[in-house]
Amino acid sequence: MNSRQQILDRIRTATSGDRSRYEDLPRGYIHAGALENEARIQLMTERLREYGAEVVECAASDLPATISPQLRDSGRHRFIVPDGVPHEWLAEDFTWLRDQNLIYDEIEQCAGVMTAASAGVADSGTIILHHGPAEGRRIISLLPDFHLCILRASQIVETMPEYFARFPNPPRLATFISGPSATADIEMTRIKGVHGPRFLSVIIVRDDA
Amino acid sequence: MRASLFITCYNDTLFPQTGRAVVRLLERLGVEVEFAPAQTCCGQMHANTGFRGEAYSQAKRFVQLYRDTECVVIPSSSCVAMIRDQYPGLFAELGNEELRRAFAALLPRIFEFSEFLTDKLGIDDVGACFPHRVAYHASCHGLRGLNIGERPFRLLRRVRGLELTPIANLDRCCGFGGTFSVKNADVSTAMLDAKLTDLLATEAEYCTALDNSCLMHLGGALHRRNLKMKPIHLAEILASTEAGAS
Amino acid sequence: MSGPVPISTPVMDPRLAPPFPKAALPILQNTQLRKNVAHATDVIQAKRNRLVAEKKDWQELRTSASAIRAHVLANLATYLEQFETNCTAAGGVVHWASNAAEARRIIIDILREENATEVIKIKTMTSAEIQLNPALEAAGIAAIETDLAELILQLGHDEPSHIVVPALHVNRHQVREIFARQMGLPQLPNDPEALTAAARTYLRRKFLSVPTAISGANFLIAETGSVAIVESEGNGRMCLTLPRTLITLAGIEKVLPRFADLEVMLQVLARSATGERLNPYNSLWSGVVSGDGPQRFHVVLLDNGRSEILARKVERQTLQCIRCAACLNTCPVYRQTGGHAYGSPYAGPIGAILTPQLERMRHAQSLPYASSLCGACYEVCPVKINIPEVLIDLRAQVVDQERVDSARWTDPMYLGMKAANFAFASASRFRMAQWFGRLGLRFFTGKDGWIRKLPSLGSRWTLSRDLPALPDQTFRQWWAERESKPKTGADK
């Protein structure tokens, strides 16, 4: 008998007679948030800033004009973008590399990246990428040291359960980012930026304009 | 009201003054106290060391001895926790249905000493007087096993002349742990050192608790180090009525 | 200058490690290490308590997390098969390993097929459990730990002492020495920022060049066949994204029914583990995704005693564990000894119950006794594992082994327990035991009525505590005397 069968048999013997239905599981925790629109965006902003992330807001029509100064402030010139990012986001005065299967070294040599996102969770200040066309491959938001993330206000939910409710079809890939990469491995001193981007900048775009 | 006292084996042998204080206090509060001489031990030491069959024998004795009493008062939170947390499992595994049912009927009538005062009698002010600085040590079984909460504090705050001094890391174990104190004597001692540091910082004259077991451990170390702080069971404070008496 | 890292190299193999009380001794004398552990646990615990307090639905989250994990265990075979089906459909290859040796063999076979000479690793408790690194080394494959703490330990030839923060027993000066020596950076300063930057540079080359990686798993999602990994540094993302081939080693208990169950687990895990609302990075992937990340993906499902734990009623809850280590940080024993005394990668209260069970109770029998049963672990456990209850049950298993071991006749603890049981069986025996006890102890009692030194097992008590002499009158004697007198309404 192979190990698979052996293990499954042992498990079945151990659990024979157990009855537990998924539908009956207690779910008494908070699902929906209580905050109004403004307060939710405010909370997202606060939580991101607590992580040391840079956050600005703008109206949809002002997005290209808002991207430029954010990039300039980062002190970097060359940026990678996923292939699916809208053309109008690509501000002039910067060098843009569209990710059409860039090799690792090309990505590594690029100091910054700009992507869209799939969702934001205000309660934990989390940005979630599902790595679609405008969010790009996982590697491009990992190797560069600076990540500018464009998040629409309507993508921001208050609680973690609200995010999961919004995506009943699970993504094949997801990266949850809560502030820049960090470690507290040496004497519990929190140090920003170990391997992932050390600098995270977020533009929250108002959809209502 | 008739309260049947389960004094516990180690209070009986090592700390009779605690039992005398419980009797004195309860009688002062108008409770009729009875003591069944057939009692020995609740089985905690055996259960917690892994001697399950032995613990079961004592659990069985306990239930048979107290099943017909009006209520049981126990001046030791760890023994109460043993009875509440472990008897059901012991009876389910080793006992019979009749015993299990007798225990289930008895269980709501079993009280830790401070629970008995505050919950059953509904008294916070027992008319005690103890003009001293006192630190309260929260034994783990009282704190987490019984969720004793504010009860001992409510009782202590109403004692005339008593000054209650807060202790840092109240919820941290003193390192006694029954046979742990000898099986892992060195680690137990390290935990004891940490607790003594917090305890001595209170500059209290007395350290009180619901359990003489923790107090034997703390008091033994206080004595070893020639320190003035004295261990005292809560019952002895509450039984004191005039300045100086304990 | 700070003390040396370990006084002697700790033994982390439960089959070879000394019993807990003995293993704890050198650590109790290592003041630097104890200071480091106390500081780290204080910091994490304070952060954890603050963030748990702000969460209004914490108890409801705990209840759900616990119920989800218990539900998984009750339906484990179904969920594992579901995971296997969905992971395979997504392009992954699922392997099953009955024990540590089989898991090691599967992994080494895959690596050989890849012609691997090096492999990058994300911190995985399971790989430490199966002692993978020495096996890789023997097979000529260099394992490179990429978690900062694991790197510190690997370069310093030290062992992990905590599930989440494995190098918490090492301070910055010690890290500096290790890095300066091993990375050839004599000028390296000792501030954590510079040390972290040094690790970043050191590992970046490895991330970009090593084509095979090994990870553990925080959760396997049955519904999608995906794997979730929770981390802080980004080394995980590197290992999960850059290599051509990824091998994930996961205990069979790690499965969750659905993607959405993460809404509970992620919330309780981050707060319990590091005291954060969410840890910086969570990665989730399903099998192989064309054009993104490793194009060859293997999952090794490890039993290694877990199905036997599953079969035991009280012990089963051990498998609910999500490895947050909150029980370590709050444990008054762990806070004194750190992790090395446990002689296993799984330290603290959870280690005290998990390790002996993984060893089928044939080793590490001292671990269930490495607890004062204070219950602090149960109180903080995000999946409500009643650790004291399991400890007591395991102690009963240990005693059952003693009952048939001839050594019991020379074990004072065993004999004492049997004698006490004999005494407790009737009041007359108990009275006699009290009488003999008083008489026997009189010999050791000083003039002030205190005992300072006892022989045998008693010497373990008098190591640090005096014992009051037995009073002349027991309570029952006083009561009998009182009952024999006519009632006056007041006692003496």
DSSP track, chain B: -EEEE---HHHHHH-HHHHHHHHHHHHHTT-EEEE-TT----SHHHHHHT-HHHHHHHHHHHHHHHTT-S-EEES-HHHHHIIIIIHHHHHHHHS-HHHHHHHHHHGGGEEEHHHIIIIIS--S----B--SEEEE---HIIIIIS--TTHHHHHHHTSBT-EEE--TTTTS--S-TTTHHHHTHHHHHHHHHHHHHHHHTTT-SEEEES-HHHHHHHHHHHHHTT---EEEEHHHHHH--STT--
- Name the DSSP class of C486: P
Angle in degrees, 0-180, between the axes of helices C348-358 and C387-402, rounded to the nearest 10: 40
Distance CA B88, CA B100 (A): 7
- The contacts of residue A23 (CB under 8 Å, 6+ apart) are none
pLDDT digits (tens, 9 = 90+) for B76-125: 999 999 999 999 999 999 888 999 999 999 999 999 999 999 999 999 99
Closest chain A CA to residue C307: A11
Q: Is residue A7 part of a domain?
A: no
Contact (CB<8Å) B191/C332: yes
Predicted-complex ipTM score? 0.97
Stretch C82-104: mean pLDDT: 98
Closest CA to C146 of C219, C205, C228: C205
Alpha helices in C255-372 (DSSP H): 262-273, 306-310, 326-330, 332-337, 348-358
B111 in the same domain as B50: yes
Residue A188 has pLDDT above 60, yes or no: yes
Nearest to B52 among C368, C396, C477 (CB): C396
pLDDT digits (tens, 9 = 90+) for C389-430: 999 999 999 999 999 999 999 999 999 999 999 999 999 999
Stretch A159-186: mean pLDDT: 94
Q: Is residue A166 part of a domain?
A: yes
Residues 306-365 of C with CB under 8 A from B: 314, 332-333, 335-337
CATH code for the domain of B202: 3.40.50
Closest CA to C412 of B179, B44, B189: B179
Q: For residue C118, which phi and psi values (nearest 5 degrees)? A: -135, 155
Q: Is residue A169 part of a domain?
A: yes
C278 in the same domain as C129: yes
**CB distance C101 to C110 below 8 Å:** no
**CB distance C371 to C363 below 8 Å:** no
Task: Give me the number of domains chain A comprises.
Answer: 1
Task: Give me the number of domains chain C comprises.
Answer: 2
B116 in the same domain as B138: no
pLDDT digits (tens, 9 = 90+) for C318-334: 999 999 999 999 999 99
pLDDT digits (tens, 9 = 90+) for C185-224: 999 999 999 999 999 999 999 999 999 999 999 999 999 9
pLDDT digits (tens, 9 = 90+) for A55-100: 999 999 999 999 999 999 999 999 999 999 999 999 988 999 999 9
Q: Is residue A19 part of a domain?
A: no
- The contacts of residue C162 (CB under 8 Å, 6+ apart) are C40, C168, C169, C325, C328, C338, C339, C347, C348
> Band of the pLDDT at B242, cuts 50, 70, 90?
confident
Kind plus residue range of the DSSP H or E element containing C41? helix C31-54
Res C489: pLDDT: 52
CATH code for the domain of A119: 3.40.50.10420
Kind plus residue range of the DSSP H or E element containing C77? helix C76-89
Give all chains having 3 or more CB-to-CB distances under 8 Å with chain A: C
Residue A72: which domain range?
47-179+192-206
- Inter-residue long-range contacts of C424-428, CB under 8 Å, 24+ positions, other chains counted: C424/B9, C424/B40, C424/B41, C424/B43, C424/B57, C424/B58, C424/B61, C425/B40, C425/B57, C425/B61, C426/B38, C426/B40, C427/B37, C427/B38, C427/B39, C427/B40, C427/C476
Which residues does residue B149 pair with via DSSP β-bridges, in sequence order?
none
Q: Is residue A1 part of a domain?
A: no
Average pLDDT, rounded, for chain C? 95
Res A180: pLDDT: 81
Angle in degrees, 0-180, between the axes of helices B52-66 and C412-424, rounded to the nearest 10: 20
- Name the DSSP class of C445: B
Q: Which domain-ending residue is among B79, B99, B120?
A: B120
Contact (CB<8Å) B37/C476: yes
- The contacts of residue C240 (CB under 8 Å, 6+ apart) are A138, C122, C213, C215, C229, C246, C283, C285, C293, C294
Residues 225-244 of B with CB under 8 A from C: none
Sign of CA dihedral C438, C441, C447, C452: negative
Give me B213's structure tokens.
């077991």
* Neighbour-count burial for B153-184, b at 16+ CB within 10 Å, e otherwise: bebbeebeebebbebeeeebbbbbbbbbbbbb
Q: What is the largest CA-CA distance in chain B?
A: 53
B100 in the same domain as B62: yes
B162 in the same domain as B88: no
**CB distance B132 to B91 below 8 Å:** no
Q: Is residue C58 part of a domain?
A: yes
B177 in the same domain as B81: no
Distance CA C2, CA C190 (A): 12
pLDDT digits (tens, 9 = 90+) for C15-56: 999 999 999 999 999 999 999 999 999 999 999 999 999 999
- Name the DSSP class of A98: E
Q: Which domain-ending residue is among C307, C332, C359?
A: C307
Q: Is residue C245 part of a domain?
A: yes
Distance CA B227, CA B195 (A): 14
The answer to whether residue C232 neighbours chain A at the CB level (below 8 Å) is yes
CA angle B182, B184, B189 (to 5 degrees): 85
Residue C3 has pLDDT above 60, yes or no: no
Per CB-CB distance under 8 Å, the chain C contacts of A173 are 284-286, 289, 292-293
Which is more confidently placed, A93 or A133?
A133
Which residues does residue B4 pair with via DSSP β-bridges, in sequence order?
B34, B72
Mutate to test the interface with A, among C147, C200, C206 (most CBs of A within 10 A): C200
pLDDT digits (tens, 9 = 90+) for C333-390: 999 999 999 999 999 999 999 999 999 999 999 999 999 999 999 999 999 999 999 9
The answer to whether residue B118 neighbours chain C at the CB level (below 8 Å) is no
Q: Where are the beta strands (DSSP E) in C175-244?
A: 212-215, 219-221, 226-231
DSSP track, C266-296: HHHHHHHHTS-SS-SEEEEEES-BTTBS-SE
CA distances in angstroms from C59 to B91, C11, C379, C383, listed in the order given:
30, 38, 11, 10
Distance CA A77, CA A85 (A): 18
B64 in the same domain as B24: yes
Contact (CB<8Å) C277/A175: no
Q: Is residue A147 part of a domain?
A: yes
- Residue whose pair of structure tokens reads 């209260």 in the numeric block: C349
Give residue B228's identity as a one-letter amino acid code. K
Distance CA B152, CA B126 (A): 12
The answer to whether residue B177 neighbours chain C at the CB level (below 8 Å) is yes
B143 in the same domain as B82: no
Sign of CA dihedral C358, C363, C369, C371: negative
The answer to whether residue A14 neighbours chain C at the CB level (below 8 Å) is yes
Alpha carbon C225 to its chain centroid, in Å, reads 27
Per CB-CB distance under 8 Å, the chain B contacts of C24 are 184, 186-187
The answer to whether residue A34 neighbours chain C at the CB level (below 8 Å) is no
Distance CA C389, CA C51 (A): 27
Q: Is residue B127 part of a domain?
A: no
- Residue whose pair of structure tokens reads 């703008």 in the numeric block: A58
Which residues does residue C282 pair with via DSSP β-bridges, in sequence order?
A176, C230
Give me C446's structure tokens.
């000083």
Per CB-CB distance under 8 Å, the chain C contacts of A115 are none
Q: Is residue B208 part of a domain?
A: yes
Task: Give me the number of domains chain B comprises.
Answer: 2
Q: For residue B160, which phi and psi values (nearest 5 degrees)? A: -60, 135
Stretch C271-292: mean pLDDT: 96
CATH code for the domain of C69: 3.40.50.10420
Res A191: pLDDT: 87
**CB distance A30 to A161 below 8 Å:** yes
**CB distance C434 to C471 below 8 Å:** no
Res C85: pLDDT: 98
Res A208: pLDDT: 61
Give me C292's structure tokens.
């993104």
Q: For residue B74, which phi and psi values (nearest 5 degrees)? A: -130, 115
DSSP track, A150-204: EEEGGGEESSHHHHHHH-SS--SEEEEE-SS-EE-TTTT--EE-SSS-SEEEEEE
Res C368: pLDDT: 98
pLDDT digits (tens, 9 = 90+) for B142-164: 999 999 999 999 999 999 999 99
Q: Is residue C121 part of a domain?
A: yes
pLDDT digits (tens, 9 = 90+) for C144-162: 999 999 999 999 999 999 9
C101 in the same domain as C220: yes
Per CB-CB distance under 8 Å, the chain A contacts of C276 are 178
CA angle C320, C321, C325 (to 5 degrees): 160
Distance CA C385, CA C375 (A): 11
Per CB-CB distance under 8 Å, the chain B contacts of C400 are 50
Judge A/B contact: 3 or more CB pairs < 8 A: no
Closest chain A CA to residue C59: A29
B29 in the same domain as B65: yes
Q: Give the distance from residue B71's alpha carbon to the nearest chain C alpha carbon, in angstroms.
A: 19
Res C286: pLDDT: 98
Q: For residue A21, which phi and psi values (nearest 5 degrees)? A: -100, 135
B82 in the same domain as B14: yes
Residue C491 has pLDDT above 70, yes or no: no
C-beta atoms surrounding C340 within 10 Å: 28
Distance CA C176, CA C185 (A): 9
Give me A185's structure tokens.
């491995």
Per CB-CB distance under 8 Å, the chain B contacts of C373 are 48, 140, 177-178, 180
Nearest to B220 among C374, C465, C473 (CB): C465
The answer to whether residue B26 neighbours chain C at the CB level (below 8 Å) is no
Residue B115: which domain range?
2-120
Q: Is residue A67 part of a domain?
A: yes
Res C2: pLDDT: 43
- Residue whose pair of structure tokens reads 């490793």 in the numeric block: C294
Q: For residue C183, which phi and psi values (nearest 5 degrees)? A: -100, 0
Residue C474: which domain range?
414-484
The answer to whether residue C223 neighbours chain A at the CB level (below 8 Å) is yes
Contact (CB<8Å) C395/B50: yes
Residues 70-99 of A with CB under 8 A from C: none
Which residues does residue A191 pair with via DSSP β-bridges, in sequence order?
A183
Contact (CB<8Å) C60/A29: yes
Contact (CB<8Å) B183/C369: yes
Contact (CB<8Å) C468/B220: yes
Per CB-CB distance under 8 Å, the chain B contacts of C23 are none
**CB distance B195 to B218 below 8 Å:** yes
Res C206: pLDDT: 93
Parallel/antiparallel/unpaired status of strands A182-183 and A191-192: antiparallel
Angle in degrees, 0-180, between the axes of helices C412-424 and C427-442, rounded to the nearest 10: 130
Q: Give the distance from residue C209's alpha carbon to the nearest chain A alpha carbon, in angstroms.
A: 10
pLDDT > 70: percent of chain C: 97
C289 in the same domain as C157: yes
Nearest to A11 among C36, C76, C260 (CB): C76
CA distances in angstroms from B87 to B83, B92, B102, C419, listed in the order given:
5, 8, 12, 22
B78 in the same domain as B26: yes
The answer to whether residue C480 neighbours chain B at the CB level (below 8 Å) is yes
pLDDT digits (tens, 9 = 90+) for B186-238: 999 999 999 999 999 999 999 999 999 999 999 999 999 999 999 999 999 99
Nearest to C417 among B46, B61, B85 (CB): B46
Q: Is residue B63 part of a domain?
A: yes
Res C488: pLDDT: 60
